[in-house]
């Protein structure tokens, strides 16, 4: 304890090291689970089948599951059911006044209830997806004609459903452990990890395309330069802010005069971060996965319209991203609360009356920023899709992947920096109080 007080920086680094080690350990556990297959599946036939399906929707889904889908592992569904359940619960907070009251007015107890309901919804979604995947696996065969499922039937379907459900719940728990005891958002880091480990495979696939003559070296260089430019743009725009000037009126309390200083309210250009593309992809993957694994011809034809390079998929994808940009911004940022808090603290925007006018002004600025942010996200996620469809570029080099990788990495570094600053400040204050008592 004395050493920690004597050297608060070392104490903060020690705690940070423990959290980073815990985060790395949980991610390693997740990666081990990705390679544990469900029982009753012929691994060789399955690998041949997925090799023939590369470049389709399976490639995108496999990227988000960290390779779990191509292995049909216990973590095949990954965090997608949990994300879908989170979307449903957030929409319910907008639709249902009772759920909104529970989430906002009951504090920590209300958030625990919402979290518990989200877990229940995750289980239900996983059971439905697991059933359709099990039925689809029974109808699959390798190009050589070998059946993927060795012993199809009700027993295989039940085992598959239970295995997928247990795996998704475990992934959800692992993400929560990272958030609570590690550093960063656990769910985002799991998706980040799944994309990162697939990059070497994407590089190998690109080299194979160049060797086979399907891609020229010049085009590969152009793609690399394009990716670098997109990455720089993402970093620049993710840090962009609109700073609304705030002034505080002078107030006299007793013999002291408070206030009178100027500050600003920072509003990010992309307030929603990487949430819109993740949520939009999750919603599109849910019905498309059912369609891909279904044996019904009508369902299969409907699923073909949702191929990642199809027009309908991209139109719906953009619409969903714009919707979630506005929706998520409205969930995490309430102009009415901000205007009321400014009024209570004696703050005001120069030239704008406190109260309702301030709320309208903040809401207008936030709406314009959100529109710009949604256009930026749509361009970043869509333009590289043209490369994927026209030049057979792996999904790992697409705009959605780059946005998630850069966004999560920046958020992770910001959390590490904030943790070090807060820990150092806490230890310094503790040292000051101890010295004062001495």
Domains identified in the chain and CATH numbers = 2-201+215-437 (1.10.3370.10)
At residue 7, the pLDDT reads 52
Tens of pLDDT along the chain (438 residues)?
344 444 545 555 678 888 899 999 999 999 888 888 888 777 666 666 666 555 455 556 666 666 667 677 888 888 888 888 888 888 787 777 787 777 776 667 777 888 888 899 999 988 988 888 888 777 776 666 667 777 888 888 898 889 989 998 999 999 989 988 888 888 888 888 888 887 787 778 778 877 877 777 887 787 788 888 888 888 888 888 888 888 877 665 666 666 567 788 888 888 888 788 877 877 776 666 666 655 666 666 666 666 666 677 778 888 988 998 888 888 778 888 888 888 887 788 888 888 888 888 888 889 999 999 888 888 888 776 666 566 555 555 567 778 888 888 888 888 888 888 877 777 666 666 665 555
Residue 121: count other Cβ atoms within 10 Å of its Cβ.
Answer: 19
At residue 255, the pLDDT reads 65
At residue 281, the pLDDT reads 76
Q: Name the pTM for this structure.
A: 0.77
């Amino acid at each position: 304890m004395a050493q920690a007080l004597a050297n608060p920086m070392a104490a903060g680094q020690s705690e940070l090291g423990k959290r980073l080690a815990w985060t790395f350990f949980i991610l390693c556990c997740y990666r081990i689970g990705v390679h544990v297959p469900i029982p009753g599946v012929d691994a060789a036939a399955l690998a041949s089948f997925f090799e023939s399906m590369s470049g389709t929707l399976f490639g995108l889904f496999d990227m988000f599951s960290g390779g779990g889908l191509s292995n049909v592992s216990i973590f095949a569904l990954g965090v997608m059911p949990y994300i879908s359940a989170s979307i449903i619960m957030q929409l319910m907070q907008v639709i249902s006044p009772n759920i909104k009251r529970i989430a906002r007015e009951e504090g920590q107890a209300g958030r625990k209830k919402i979290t518990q309901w989200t877990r229940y919804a995750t289980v239900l979604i996983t059971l439905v997806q697991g059933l359709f995947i099990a039925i689809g696996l029974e109808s699959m065969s390798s190009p050589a004609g070998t059946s993927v499922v060795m012993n199809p039937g009700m027993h295989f379907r039940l085992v598959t459903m239970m295995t997928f459900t247990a795996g998704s719940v475990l992934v959800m728990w692992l993400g929560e452990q990272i958030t609570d005891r590690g550093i960063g958002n656990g769910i985002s880091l799991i998706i980040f990890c799944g994309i990162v480990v697939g990059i070497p495979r994407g590089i190998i696939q690109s080299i194979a395309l160049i060797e086979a003559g399907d891609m020229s070296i010049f085009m590969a260089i152009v793609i690399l330069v394009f990716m670098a430019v997109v990455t720089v743009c993402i970093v620049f725009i993710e840090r962009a802010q609109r700073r609304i000037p705030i002034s505080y009126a002078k107030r006299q309390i007793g013999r002291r005069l408070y206030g009178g200083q100027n500050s600003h309210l920072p509003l990010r250009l992309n307030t929603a971060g990487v949430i819109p593309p993740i949520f939009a992809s999750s919603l599109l993957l849910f019905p498309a996965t059912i369609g891909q694994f279904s044996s019904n011809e009508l369902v299969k034809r409907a699923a073909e319209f949702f191929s990642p390079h199809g027009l309908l998929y991209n139109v719906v994808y953009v619409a969903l991203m714009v919707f979630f940009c506005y929706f998520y911004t409205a969930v995490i940022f309430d102009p009415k609360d901000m205007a009321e808090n400014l009024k209570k603290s004696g703050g005001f925007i120069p030239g704008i009356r406190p109260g309702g006018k301030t709320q309208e002004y903040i809401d207008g600025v936030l709406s314009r920023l959100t529109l710009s942010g949604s256009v930026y996200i749509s361009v970043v996620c869509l333009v590289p899709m043209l490369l994927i469809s026209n030049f057979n570029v792996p999904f790992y080099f697409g705009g959605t992947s780059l946005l998630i990788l850069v966004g999560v990495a920046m958020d992770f570094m910001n959390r590490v920096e904030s943790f070090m600053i807060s820990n150092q400040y806490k230890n310094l204050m503790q040292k000051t109080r101890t010295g004062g008592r001495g």
